[in-house]
Amino acid sequence: MGLFVAQILTGLANAAALFLVASGLSLIFGVTRIVNFAHGSLYMLGAYFGITLMNTLPGAFGFWSAILLSGLIIGLIGVIIEICVLRPVYRAPELFQLVATFGVILVIQDLALMIWGAEDRLGPRAPGLKSVVRIMGEPVPQYDLALIAITPFILLGLWWLITKTRIGILVRAATQDREMVGALGVNQSWLFTGVFFLGSALAGLGGAIQLPKGGADLLMDLNIISSVFVVVVIGGMGSIPGAFVASVLISVLNVFGVAYLPQSTLVLMYVVMAVVLLLRPYGLFGREEKAGEHGQAGEPDRPIRPAGLYGRIAVAALLAVLALIPVFSGSFTQVLLTDIIIFCLFAASLQFMLSTGGLVSFGHAAYFGGGAYAAALLVSYSDTPMEIAFMFAPLAAGLLAILFGWFCIRLSGVYFAMLTLAFSQLIWSAAFQWYEVTGGDDGLVNIWPAKWLSGTNAYYYFTLIVGVGGIILLRHLTHAPIGYALRGTRDSARQAEATGINVKLIQWTAFSIAGALAGLAGGLFVFSKGSIFPNELEIAKSFDALIVVFLGGVKTLSGGVVGAGFMEVAKDWLTRLEYWRLILGLVIIGVVIIAPDGIVGTLRKVSERIGLRRTEEFMK
C-alpha cells in the first residue's frame, strides 16, 4: 500500500513539468493552429537557462527566481521564433509550419551545444527541500511534494487567465474562430505573438522546474516532445484542463509501468493514446475540427501528365549514368548512391500519400523500419533465405499499413497526423524495449544479402533496379485511375463521394501502398547495412522524409525524389562540419519562407518566367 501511494505521488510530481509543457503547446495550437514541434526545444532551453541562473543566484530565493526568470527568457525566445520564423508562414499549409518548426529544433540543438557543451548537466537540488519525507514508510522527496502542491495553482492560474480575463476571452474566441476575432478589430499578429510568449514561457518553466529531478541534456527536446504530443492529443488539442488530466494520467501510468511492466512503459503510453483517439477522436476534452481548416492551402496543384519524350530521355540518360557508375568509381560512391536511392524510394512513398492524397503522415518511418525489422527478424530467428526475407519486408510493412491505416483514415488533419505518429512510436517503443526479440538498442545484426548479391557492385545494381522500379511504380500509380481518384479525394471529398467514389477506401488503399513501398525501401536498407537499429523507426526518421518531400516541392510529382537526393548529398557534405544541424536548420527555415515551392516547384516557376520552359497548356 505504501509503495502504491508513493508511486502515485511520484507520478503526480512528474506530471508537473509535463503539464506545463503540454499546456503551452495546447495553448499555441488552439489559437494559432500551429503544431509547434520546437516546443520540446524550448523546454530544453528552459532547463539549461535554469541551471545557469541557479548557479548564479544564491539560496532559495535565487532558486525560485531562477525558475521564473527562465520562463520569462524562454517566453521572449518564443516571441523571436514566432516573429522571425512563423509569421511569414501562417497562411501556408500546416506542413510548411511543421517543417519550419523542425528547422528551429535543429538550430536550437546546435546553439545549445555551442553554449552549454555536450555534457549532461545535473540539476541543483532545491534549497530547503533536499531531503525526503516518509509517507506510509516509503521515502518521498520533499521536492516532489512541493511540485504536487504547485501544479494545481498553475492550473488554477491558467484557468483564471483563460476564463476571467480579457486576454483569455480573446484567446478563447481565437481558438473557436480566429477570422471572426480579426474581423472584430483584434490585432491577430500580436494576439498570436502573445500566446506564443505565454506558451513558450510555460515550456521554459517546465524545463526549469524539473531540474532537481532530471537535469539538462541535449536529447531532452525530442524525448519530451513525444510525451507532450501524447498528452495534448489525449487531452484534446487546445484544452488546458485536458492537458492537466492527460499529464497526470500519463505520468502515473509511466510510474506504474516502470514498477510492474518495465518492458512496456513506452508502449503503454502510445496504446493509451491510440485507444483514446479511437474512442474520442478529438481527445478527452477536445472539440471537433472544422473540415477544410487543415486542407491544402495556397495555390492549387497543377494538372499532371506523364513525362513526355524529353522527360523520358532525360530519365533514361540519368539511369544510364547510374548504371555505369560502378565502372568509373569506387565503392564509396556506390554505397552513397545506394543510400540515396533507398531514401528516394522512402520519400517517394511518403509523397504518394502526402502530396497526391493530402494525407500528412508524421509516422512514415514505422513502415520503413517495420519492413526492415520484419526482414531482419526472419533472418535472425528462422534463417530465412535473404530473397524471401527481402520480399517479406514490403509485405509486412503493407500489412502493418493496412492495419494502422484502417484506424488513421477515420481521422483527418492534425489528428490523422498525430495518430500516425502514435502508431509509429508504438512500433519504435516495441523495437526499443522488447529486448529479447528485437535486441533493443543493440539492434539486429548480421543481416547480410544472399551470396549472389553480396558484392558492393551486385547490391548496388540490385538497389538501383528495385529502388528505381518502386519509384516508377509509384509514379505510374499517380497517373493511373487510383492516383487520380486519390487526388480527387484530396481536392474535394464531397464531390468524390457524390460521384460514387468511396473516399475512405481510396485513402486506405493509398496509405497501404505507401506503407508497402516504404517497407520495400526498408528491406533494401537492412540488407545494405547488414543491421537495423531502433533509430530507423524514430520520429526523426519520419521527419527526414517529410522534410525532403517538402524541400523538393510538395506540389510536384518528383519533389520527394529530388529532395531526397539533394538532402543525402548535402548531408554527406554538411555532416563533416561541426555545427551542421545549425546550417541545415537555417536552410530549412530559409526555404520555407523564401521558396515554399521547393526545389522542383521553384525551378519550374523560374524557368517558366525566364522563358526556358513554356507555360503548360492547361494554365492558359
Cα 604 from Cα 614, distance rounded (Å): 10
Residues 509-528 as x/- pattern, contact with other proteins by CB under 8 A: x-------------------
- 522 and 536 in contact (C-beta within 8 Å)? yes
Shortest reach from residue 256's CB to other proteins, in Å: 42
Cα 237 from Cα 128, distance rounded (Å): 37
Q: Which of 432, 423, 283, 433 is nearest to 363 (CA)?
A: 423
Cα 485 from Cα 185, distance rounded (Å): 42
- Applying CB under 8 A, does 615 fall inside the site for other proteins? no
How many Cα atoms are found within 13 Å in the side-chain-facing hemisphere of 576? 5
Q: Which stretch binds other proteins (CB under 8 A): 421-429, 478-486, 532-540, 544-552?
A: 478-486
- Closer Cβ to other proteins, 221 or 301, answer by number: 301
Q: Which of 176, 152, 174, 172 is nearest to 164 (CA)?
A: 172
Cα 166 from Cα 491, distance rounded (Å): 39
| Secondary structure of residue 138 in the 3-state scheme | strand
By CB under 8 A, what part of segment 407-436 binds other proteins? Answer: none
Cα 89 from Cα 590, distance rounded (Å): 11
- Applying CB under 8 A, does 483 fall inside the site for other proteins? yes
Q: Which of 279, 498, 594, 610 binds other proteins (CB under 8 A)?
A: 498
Helices 188-209 and 2-32 pack at an angle, to 10 degrees, of 160
Q: Which stretch binds other proteins (CB under 8 A): 211-219, 301-309, 374-382, 430-438?
A: 301-309
- 551 and 598 in contact (C-beta within 8 Å)? yes
- Output the 3-class SS for 477-521: HHHCHHHHHHHHHHHCHHHHHCCCCCHHHHHHHHHHHHHHHHHHH
- Applying CB under 8 A, does 68 fall inside the site for other proteins? no
- Closer Cβ to other proteins, 130 or 302, answer by number: 302
Q: Which residue's entry shows cell 540519368?
A: 318
Count residues binding other proteins (CB under 8 A): 35
Shortest reach from residue 473's CB to other proteins, in Å: 9
Q: Which stretch binds other proteins (CB under 8 A): 168-176, 445-453, 480-488, 540-548?
A: 480-488
Shortest reach from residue 513's CB to other proteins, in Å: 10
Question: Phi and psi dihedrals of 288, rounded to 5?
Answer: -65, 140
Q: Which of 58, 157, 303, 385 binds other proteins (CB under 8 A)?
A: 303
- Applying CB under 8 A, does 572 fall inside the site for other proteins? no
Indicate the helix (H) or strand (E) that contains 157. Answer: helix 142-164
Shortest reach from residue 618's CB to other proteins, in Å: 4
Residues 304-323 as x/- pattern, contact with other proteins by CB under 8 A: xxx-----------------
Q: Which of 177, 293, 442, 497 binds other proteins (CB under 8 A)?
A: 497
Shortest reach from residue 306's CB to other proteins, in Å: 6
Q: How many CB atoms lie within 10 A of CB 125?
A: 17
Q: Which of 405, 415, 353, 348 is nearest to 552 (CA)?
A: 348
By CB under 8 A, what part of segment 365-394 binds other proteins? Answer: none
- Applying CB under 8 A, does 577 fall inside the site for other proteins? no
DSSP code string of 525-582: HHHHHSEE-GGGGSHHHHHHHHHHHHHH-TTSSSHHHHHHHHHHHHHHHHTTSTTHHH
- Output the 3-class SS for 55-113: HHCCHHHHHHHHHHHHHHHHHHHHHHHHHHHHHHHCCCCHHHHHHHHHHHHHHHHHHHH
Q: Which of 165, 454, 457, 502 binds other proteins (CB under 8 A)?
A: 502
Q: Which of 185, 262, 481, 611 binds other proteins (CB under 8 A)?
A: 481
Q: Which stretch binds other proteins (CB under 8 A): 14-22, 39-47, 300-308, 438-446?
A: 300-308
Q: Which of 287, 410, 479, 571 binds other proteins (CB under 8 A)?
A: 479
Q: Which of 89, 427, 485, 557 binds other proteins (CB under 8 A)?
A: 485
DSSP code string of 202-269: HHHHHHHHTTTTS-B-TTHHHHHHHHHHHHHHHH-TT-HHHHHHHHHHHHHHHHHHHHH-TT-HHHHH
Shortest reach from residue 510's CB to other proteins, in Å: 11
- Closer Cβ to other proteins, 302 or 613, answer by number: 302
- Applying CB under 8 A, does 302 fall inside the site for other proteins? yes
Q: Which of 494, 609, 613, 614 binds other proteins (CB under 8 A)?
A: 494
| Secondary structure of residue 139 in the 3-state scheme | strand
- Closer Cβ to other proteins, 66 or 360, answer by number: 360
Cα 596 from Cα 472, distance rounded (Å): 25
Q: Which stretch binds other proteins (CB under 8 A): 224-232, 274-282, 293-301, 360-368?
A: 293-301
Q: Which of 119, 383, 436, 617 binds other proteins (CB under 8 A)?
A: 617
- Applying CB under 8 A, does 488 fall inside the site for other proteins? yes
Indicate the helix (H) or strand (E) that contains 403. Answer: helix 386-408
Q: Which of 178, 364, 487, 541 binds other proteins (CB under 8 A)?
A: 487
Per-residue DSSP letter, 357: T
Shortest reach from residue 616's CB to other proteins, in Å: 8
- Applying CB under 8 A, does 610 fall inside the site for other proteins? no
Q: Which residues bind other proteins (CB under 8 A)?
A: 299-306, 477, 479-485, 487-488, 490-492, 494-495, 497-502, 506, 509, 617-620
